[in-house]
Amino acid sequence: MSRPSSPFPRMFLVACLVAVATGPVIPASSAATRHLRSTTTTAVTHNAGFAAGKFGWARGTSLTTFDVVKVGLNGGPGAQLTAPPGRVASLRTSRGNAAIDAQTGDRFIGSAWVRATSVGQSGSIVLRTLHGSTTSSATASFTLYDTAWHKVSVGMTSRGSAPNVRLAVNFNNMAYGARGFVDSAAVRQFGVSRLIHTSFDRLALGPMTPSRFQSSVGGDNPMASVYDDTSVAADTRGHGRVIRTTLQANTMHTYPSGNNGIVVFVPLRRTVAQACVSYDIRFDASFPWSLGGKLPGLLGVAPGVAPSVPSGGNNVNDLGWSGRLMWLGPGAYYMPGRSNLAVSYMYHPQQKNRYGDNVSWRRSFVRGSWHTVKQCYRMNTPGVHDGRLTAWFDGKLKVDRRQYLFRTRSDVKITHLSWSIFRGGDSAKWAANRTGHIDIDNLLVTTRS
């Protein structure tokens, strides 16, 4: 059997584990892999079942033809791959679809269900981490002796702090007219647990209600008026659904009155000292940026303190902190010429500005395009500048502050998801002259076990 070609540059494959199939199909198997399966695991790959079309995935070689059609495990969407005779057909995660925030010693399993129209089709599944100038990778080879579905997998341990973990599935030496199929392709990270995880696909289309929001995201706010600008919409990428928040023209958060947008504080299942929040986000194709607005993030408050305290211009003192995301238009917060800029919007005990401090990501959102954003927060020793704030935009590390002060007392940790989506801002000048909407999908809040 010939050695599979890699969808990643050859210089990246510096540490390979190869398991060659010798039966109907043999996935990667080792003592290390078996041990991984007995520990806490969190799926970190977006759109593993291709319900959102091609989002998060790309062809791994230039000669690959990659389509999402109804060829999946249960007759639903799946990836279909073809290539010229004798060439490799390859599928890989895109840069924004990566298991990010890997640390030295973190363990991963990459897996996928595969089948092919050609009996005896060989292939491989590959994991790769990139940390600085060093890359680690693991490869497991397989041979399909029938045309049925089989699950293949490969395990690896990260050799350093890595900004992403990438997955690829290859079909080698394709025969004339042969096709390869992939479904449920995922990377799982061990030692990390999910606090909130939802794709919204099980929600009914139409207006959001308190019970629908709580069943998907959480929280306990029963007021229907809180959700009146939010709905469940069909996902234009494929077959899934998204949460859509509509921001009406000539309004901002509290202007002219009421709640324009949405603000819901969702308690986490447990209080933790480090956590990450990630989601996919899209501003509509003609979205009016205005001066900017708020997006979801995490926060922490002392016992008995309302989660709204570290926001709204309040002086938090030692009561808590918050770290939402914002988009900023030109002229906002003295950032002229920077339209639709992503920033971490931070309230903390030593903030310089009444309305929070901005940490620029140096990246801008693009109207009509899906982006994947992620922020991680690691609490500091109380009163010591040793906390860490990190942020990724489409899989690229954009913020890494390692001397952050989130708190001055030990009973302030990470307690809530702040589901904040609105324009503003402290005045009507943050309003826009036309209506726009924001879609969010694949919400994930995790903590290290």
Which structure tokens are listed for 93?
């995660």
- Cis bond leading into 258, ω under 30°? no
The full set of domains in the chain, from first to last, is 10-190 (2.60.120.260), 195-448 (2.60.120.200)
pLDDT digits (tens, 9 = 90+) for 183-218: 999 999 998 999 999 999 999 999 999 999 999 999
Q: With CA atoms as reference, report the closest residue to 312 among 328, 327, 299, 331.
A: 299
Task: List, in order, residues 6 or more apart from 12 with CB less than 8 Å away.
Answer: 6, 128, 130, 135, 137
Could you give the angle at the alpha carbon of 38 between the alpha carbons of 36 and 43, nearest 5°? 65
DSSP 434: S
Q: Is 377 left (phi over 0), alpha (psi -120 to 50) or beta?
A: beta
Q: What is the DSSP string of 388-428?
A: EEEEEETTEEEEEEEEE---SSTT--EEEEEEEEEE-SSSG
d(CA 409, CA 406): 9
Residues 196/447, Cβ–Cβ less than 8 Å: no
pLDDT digits (tens, 9 = 90+) for 387-410: 999 999 998 899 999 999 999 999
Contacts 24+ apart (CB under 8 A), 28-35: 28/125, 28/138, 28/140, 28/152, 28/153, 28/154, 28/155, 30/155, 32/107, 32/155, 32/157, 33/109, 33/153, 33/154, 33/155
Average pLDDT rounded to a whole number, residues 92-105: 86
For position 337, what pLDDT does the model report?
60
CA distances 289 to 36, 341, 410, Å, are 45, 10, 39
Query: Mean pLDDT in the chain?
Result: 88
Task: Find residue 325's DSSP bridge partners.
Answer: 295, 344
pLDDT digits (tens, 9 = 90+) for 129-187: 877 677 889 999 999 999 999 999 999 998 877 778 899 999 999 999 999 999 999 99
Checking if the pLDDT of 29 tops 60, the result is no
Residues 326/295, Cβ–Cβ less than 8 Å: yes
Lowest average pLDDT, out of 160-169, 251-260, 343-352, 374-383, goes to 160-169
Task: List, in order, residues 6 or more apart from 211 with CB less than 8 Å away.
Answer: none
d(CA 134, CA 353): 40
